[in-house]
Amino acid sequence: MKHLIRAALAATTATIAPVYAQNAPLLPLPAQMTPATGAITIANGAGIVVPAGDTGAATAARLLTDRVKIDRGLTLATAAQGPIRFVRDAAVAGDEAYRLTVTPRVITIAASGDRGLIWGAMTLAQLLSPDTQFGRPVRVAATTIDDAPRFRWRGLMVDVTRSFQPIETLYPIVDTMAAQKLNTLHMHLSDDQGWRVEIKRYPKLTEIGAFREPAVAGGQPGPKVGGFYTQDELRKLVAYAAERGITIVPEIDMPGHAQAAVAAYPEEVGVLGDRPPVGHDWGVNPWLFSPAPRSMTFIKNVLDELLDIFPGQFFHVGGDEAVKDQWQRSPEVQAQMKALGLKTENQMQGWMISELGKYLASKNRRLIGWDEILEGDVPTSATVMSWRGEAGAVEAANKGHDVVMSPAPNLYLDNIQSTAGDEPPGRIGLQTLEAVYGYEPVRPGVTAEAAAHVLGAQGNAWSEYLATAKQKEHATFPRLSAIAEFTWSPRDKRDWKGFVTRLQPQMLRYQRQGIAAADAAFAVAYTLDGAKGDILRGKAPKLTLATQTGAGTIRYTVDGSQPTARSRTYAAPITLRPGQVVTATAFAKDGHALADPRRFDATRPALLRATGSSDMVACPKGALGLRVPLVSGQSGDAPAYNVNIFDTCTQAPKMPLDVAQAFTVTVARLPRNYGLAHDEGKLRLHYAVTQYGELVMRVGGCDGMVAATFPLPNPDTAPNRFDFTGSFPKQPGDADICLQFTSPLSAPFYTVDTLQLESSK
C-alpha cells in the first residue's frame, strides 16, 4: 500500500512541478525547478553572507543588491549574518551552472564558477520582484532550482555604426542582458556609414570616418553627424560587461562595408585610388578593402589595437555583402589573384579571411564572420554567423565549423513587431514576439554529430532606421527575452503560454529599469468586419478586439476615455456606430495595464482617412518592404511611412467615394539614400511630363482612370511635406485610390503621408 501512495505522490509532483515552474516569475525558465514546503520572507535590510575573500561572490552579491533595489525597491546589504548566502560548490559543475535553494530559513546560491554565482543572483532578483508591490517585503516559496544553459552563445548585436549610440546608453543594455543571463554583446563598430572606434595609429579613421553628411530630400545637407568611442571608453564598458558575465565581441566589417575606412585612408586600404565621402546610403555600396599587402598590414595594425581593448576569445571580421566589382576592375587585385593561383574574387575573399584567421590565431583568438565567408573555402577553425537564412549554418555545422544562428528575418530585431501605425521605423518583415520565441537554433539538416557545433544564437538590432537609443530598445525588448529563453532553457521545457505569464513581471522590471520595451505583444489590435465606409452607410459592422498573446482581460470604452480595470469587459465583437472612439487595453489579474491603450476612431474624419503609416498597400507587382522616417536620423518616433523603395507608388484601399469625393492629399518627400548595388535594375521608373515629376492619382486601382495630376515642386525649395487638393468622380461604393509619383530616380523619394476625403455633407 505504501509503495502505491509513494507512486501516487511522485506522479502528482511530476505533474505539479512543470506548472509551478511556468508560473514562477523567471526568465529564462530554469532547467529544473522543484517546489518544496513553506516560504521565506525577504524584507528591507536583509543581509547577504559571502565567503571571506571571495571576490566573485562579493561581486555577485553587489549585483544582486543593485538589481533588487531597482526592480523591487528593497535595500539588501552584505553582512556577517542574513537570510541570503553565496557559497562555492565544486559539485555544481560548469562555469555558468548554479543551484538556488530556498527554505523557510535561508536562501542559498551555490556555484563553482563566478558566472554561475551571477546567474543565481539574477534568478533570485527575479524571485524578489514578482509583482507590482514595489518596496514591499517579498514572500518566496521554498524551492530548489538546478540550472545551467543549453547554449554557450546567448547574444545581442548592437549596430552603433549606422546610427551612432552614445556609450552611456549601452550600460543599461548590458545590465538588462545580464539580468536575463545573456552572455555575449556583439558590437558592430564599422561600416560604410561610420568608423566608431579610436585607432591611435590611424587617427583619420575617426577624424574623417566617424562623421557623415546626413541624407537629405532636397536642399543642402545640415551639419555632419556621427561620433566614436575612445579606447578608454570601450575598456571601461568591456570591464563593466565582464563583471556581469558578458563578453563583448567587436566587429570590423571587411572586405565590404568599408566606405568609411576608405574615405579616411584611400591610399592605404582603397582599391581604385578614389576617396569617397563617408556613406549615408543604407544597403550595399561598392567600396572594399584591398587585399594588397599594404592594406593587410593596415588591417593587422588595427587588429592589434582592438585585441588589446577586447580580450574575449572571438573577433568578428564581417565578410558580408562584399560586391566584387572594384576587385574585378582593379589590375592590382587581378594580378594578386593570378600570383596566388586564385580563379574567382570569392576565392580572393576566402584567402583574405583565412589570412586574418591565421593572424588572430597567432594572438590566441578565434575568427568569426557572416556566412558569406563560406564562399571562400575558409578553414574549419573559422566560426560562421548565419544571417542569410539557415542553409549556411547547416552547411557550416556539417563541415565542422562552429556556428551562431542569427538569421534574417527570424532574429532581425529591426523587423516590425506589429502592423500598428505606432510602430517605429524598420523592416516590414513582421516578427512577432511569438515568432521569435518559437525559433529553434538547431535546424533540420544538422546531423546529430554536428549539433554540438551550434554554439547558440543572437538577435541583431540593425540601426539604419532606428536613430535613438529608445527606438533601439523598443525594437530589442521584449523579443530579447524570448531569445534569452530559447538559448538558455531546455528545448522540451519551453512553453509559449508559460512564457507570456512569466513575461508580465519582466515588463514591469523593464519599466523600473527605464528600458523602453515594446508592448506590442500585449496591445489591443482591431479588425473591422467590413469597410470603413460601411459605418458611414449605417451598416453597423462588427469590430473585433484581440492581442497577440491573449494575456489578460481586455477592457474598453466607446467615448474616447481611457479604460480602467473597472471598464466594460470585451466578450464579443462590438457593433460600431458613427462617431464612436473605441479605446481598449488588456489588464492583468492584479489590475495593472499590460500595454498602453490603443484606439479605433469611428468619427467621420477618421473613417475618411488613409495614412502612409498603416493604411496604404502596395501597388501591383510590388511590396512594402521598409518603414522609413520622414528625415534620416530623426530623433522623434513619428512620422514613419511604409514604402516600396523600388517603386514610388502606393494605394489607399476601399475608399468610400460614394460618401465623399473632395480630398486633401499630404505628400511626404524622403531621402532616397539606398545603396542597391546589383539591385539597381529593379527600380521602377514612371514616365514624367513635367520637370520634377507629378503625383498621378487613379480611381479603381493603378489601371483605373486618371482622376487628378499634380506637378511636384522643386525639391530644393519646397518643404518636405505639402498638400494637394481636388476631387474624385462619385463612385457607387468603395474604390481603391492609386497614388503614383513620376519623379526621376535621381530625385528624392516621394510617398503619401495622408489621404483625407472630405464629406459633402
Q: Could you give the residue numbers annotated as active site? A: 191, 257, 321
Q: Give start and end residues of each alpha helix (H) in 272-330.
A: 293-309, 325-328
Distance from chain centroid for Cα 365: 28
Residues ≥6 apart with Cβ < 8 Å to 633: 163, 214, 225, 467
What is the Cα–Cα distance from 512 to 74, expressed in whole angstroms? 13
**C-beta separation of 214 from 277 below 8 A:** no
Query: Kind of pairing, strands 138-147 and 184-188?
Result: unpaired
The counts of H helices and E strands in the chain are: 19, 40
- The alpha carbons of the chain give a radius of gyration, in whole angstroms, of 29
Grid cell in block for residue 487: 538559448
Query: Residues for the chain: how many in total?
Result: 761
Output the CA–CA distances (angstroms, integers) from residue 542 to 419, 490, 567, 572, in the order listed.
Answer: 20, 43, 20, 9
Contact 443, 140 (CB under 8 A): no
Determine contact, residues 434/419, Cβ cutoff 8 Å.
no
Cα 549 to the center of its chain, rounded Å: 19
Q: Cα angle vertex 469, ends 465, 472, to 5°? A: 50
The owner of cell 519646397 is 718
Q: Which residue from 619, 691, 615, 610 is spatially nearest to 650, judged by alpha carbons?
A: 619
Angle at 461 between CA 495 and CA 490, to 5 degrees: 25
**CA end-to-end span of the chain:** 84
597/556 Cα distance (integer angstroms): 9
CB–CB of 57/117 below 8 Å? yes
Distance between CA atoms of 361 and 297, rounded to whole angstroms? 16
Closest C-alpha to 106, from 26, 61, 58, 41:
41
Which residues are CB-contacts of 689 (< 8 A; sequence separation ≥ 6)?
Answer: 742
Torsion of CA 602, 606, 610, 612, to 10 degrees: -110
Q: DSSP characters for 23-76? A: HSS-SSPPSEEEEEEEEEEE-TT-EEE--TT-HHHHHHHHHHHHHHHHHT----
In the chain, the largest separation of any two C-alpha atoms, in whole Å, equals 95
